[in-house]
């Protein structure tokens, strides 16, 4: 989405290069050069262009570039941690797929950043770069990883929902084989659903009145079917953005509620029977779910608002926006979505002891010895507690402890 909007913004700025014109202003004949682009879009610059240029430089050079580098390293480490953790359960399969999608998203972000730097510091080459990357990169490949990631996050949220509400059936419902299949089918389905955008635009050679030949971005075969593509655009945005976002919000809200209710029940029972407080693992689960949910919603909010503004703005369409406010939201959305794709590793190792132990194993023997010692001590202590409980009372199966041993696969994090 982002690079498409950047290309449109470039095409709509008649001052960006000598021979460039706004081919999107004339819908009926997209190959005709429009000489009235400036007057037809006099209200486009709601935000002063000089302010936008400063904002772009700060955002692209100062924030997004180092964030992308951090994201590449973080997601590679996340993949190593997830792959090294044995056994690989159903949740881990989806998390590996998410890490791969995040890596792909950051790779496309780096291409976007390079193209933006060229537009900022080498405007004479901006048009050539735009023409080369718009098909298939800008309209198809660039937004694809983000759309795939949305559904993969929704998938892992549903898996966790089943693990919390149906802990004794999660192994039968969310099998490792099923998660592998879904982790392959979902990206392929998203790729097929977004494929019509490959024919949204096309690059054409146009002969100017002075005899020179220039390239322009024109509406392609699909783009010229205005009503049909508007319906497709609404359906695709709903299925690829709004539906998975709703699934994630609802699923995690239910998980948090169930976790809090079970924690409260166990707290009263433990205080009455054994005088113990809720386990650390349980608090880790709750904090991790809250963090993932809040970060996901906040990071997708700017681009979601931009999409809603386009859908409900009578003066905006999928190929032309009514103001550069949409471009501002797109830049902010690029920053927040890059942040979302870059910090998953930090969340894993900060809020989950199992992944933190894997990082210790990767770092060296010193951490390895410490981690193994702690694990053995915890296992011995847990075994002793289980023996004592077995001697004093029967096992109560009416409530499931969310801090189940990680290797059991019943409750995953």
Which pLDDT tens digit goes with each residue over 14-54? 333 333 223 333 333 333 333 344 444 557 777 888 888 88
Q: Please determine, for residue 168, whether its predicted confidence score (pLDDT) is greater than 60.
A: yes
Mean pLDDT of 267-274: 58
Average pLDDT, the chain: 75
Q: Please determine, for residue 299, whether its predicted confidence score (pLDDT) is greater than 60.
A: yes
Diameter of the chain by CA atoms?
96
The pTM score is 0.75
Mean pLDDT of 306-315: 77
The answer to whether residues 98 and 156 touch, using CB atoms and an 8 Å cutoff, is: yes
pLDDT top residue among 292 and 105: 105
The answer to whether residues 131 and 203 touch, using CB atoms and an 8 Å cutoff, is: yes
Question: Range with the lowest mean pLDDT among 80-84, 101-105, 255-259, 401-405?
Answer: 401-405
pLDDT top residue among 56 and 367: 56
Per-residue pLDDT band for 278 (boundaries 50, 70, 90) equals very low
Quick one: tokens of 180? 């592998």
Mean pLDDT of 309-338: 78
Residue 206 has a pLDDT of: 87
The DSSP bridge partners found for residue 215 are: 205
Closest of 66, 71, 241, 69 to residue 153, by C-alpha: 241
Residue 412 has a pLDDT of: 39
Percent above pLDDT 70 for the chain? 70
Question: Range with the lowest mean pLDDT among 77-81, 124-128, 308-312, 396-400?
Answer: 396-400
Percent above pLDDT 90 for the chain? 22
pLDDT, tens digit, 9 for 90 and up, residues 170-220? 788 989 999 999 999 999 999 999 999 999 888 888 888 888 888 888 888
Q: Which helix (H) or strand (E) holds 214?
A: strand 213-219
Q: Which residues contact 293 (CB under 8 A, 6 or more apart)?
A: 248, 249, 252, 253, 256
pLDDT top residue among 346 and 321: 346
pLDDT, tens digit, 9 for 90 and up, residues 340-365? 999 888 888 888 787 788 888 888 74
Domain 49-269+278-363 belongs in CATH node 3.20.20.70 = no
pLDDT, tens digit, 9 for 90 and up, residues 370-413? 444 444 444 444 444 444 444 444 333 333 333 333 333 333 33
Residue 102 has a pLDDT of: 93
Q: Using only C-alpha atoms, what is the Rg of the chain? A: 26
Q: Please determine, for residue 318, whether its predicted confidence score (pLDDT) is greater than 80.
A: no
Closest of 314, 254, 239 to residue 289, by C-alpha: 254
């Amino acid at each position: 989405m982002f690079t498409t909007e950047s290309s449109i913004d470039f095409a709509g700025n008649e001052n960006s290069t000598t021979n460039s014109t706004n081919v999107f202003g004339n819908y009926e004949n997209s190959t005709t050069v429009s000489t009235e682009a400036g007057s037809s879009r006099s209200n486009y610059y709601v935000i002063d262009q000089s302010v936008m240029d400063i904002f772009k430089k700060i955002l692209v050079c100062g924030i997004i570039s180092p964030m992308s580098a951090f994201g590449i390293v973080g997601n590679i480490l996340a993949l190593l941690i997830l792959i090294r953790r044995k056994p690989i359960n159903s949740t881990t399969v989806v998390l590996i797929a998410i890490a791969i999608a995040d890596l792909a998203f950051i790779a496309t972000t780096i291409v976007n950043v390079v193209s933006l730097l060229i537009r900022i510091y080498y405007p004479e080459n901006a048009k050539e770069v735009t023409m080369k990357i718009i098909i298939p990169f800008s309209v198809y490949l660039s937004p694809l990883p983000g759309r795939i990631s949305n559904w993969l996050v929704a998938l892992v949220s549903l898996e966790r929902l089943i693990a919390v509400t149906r802990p004794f059936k999660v192994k039968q419902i969310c099998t490792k084989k099923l998660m592998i299949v879904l982790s392959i089918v979902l990206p392929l389905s998203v790729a097929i659903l977004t494929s019509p955008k490959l024919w949204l635009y096309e690059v054409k050679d146009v002969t100017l009145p002075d005899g020179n030949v220039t390239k322009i971005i024109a509406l392609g075969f699909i783009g010229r079917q205005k009503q049909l593509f508007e319906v497709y655009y609404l359906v695709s945005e709903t299925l690829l953005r709004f539906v998975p976002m709703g699934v994630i919000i609802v699923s995690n809200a239910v998980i948090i509620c169930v976790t809090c209710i079970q924690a409260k029940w166990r707290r009263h029972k433990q205080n009455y029977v054994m005088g113990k407080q809720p386990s650390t693992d349980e608090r880790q689960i709750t904090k991790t779910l809250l963090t993932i949910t809040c970060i996901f919603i906040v990071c997708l909010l700017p681009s979601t608002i931009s999409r809603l503004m386009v859908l409900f703005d009578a003066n905006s369409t999928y190929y032309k926006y009514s103001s550069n406010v949409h471009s501002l939201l797109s830049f902010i959305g690029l920053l927040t979505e890059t942040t979302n794709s870059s910090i998953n590793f930090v969340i894993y190792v900060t809020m989950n002891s199992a992944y933190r132990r894997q990082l210790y194993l990767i770092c060296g023997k010193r951490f390895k010895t410490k981690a193994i010692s702690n694990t053995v001590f915890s296992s011995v202590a847990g075994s002793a507690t289980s023996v004592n409980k077995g001697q004093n009372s029967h096992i109560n199966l009416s409530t499931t402890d969310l801090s189940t041993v990680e290797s059991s696969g019943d409750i995953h994090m």
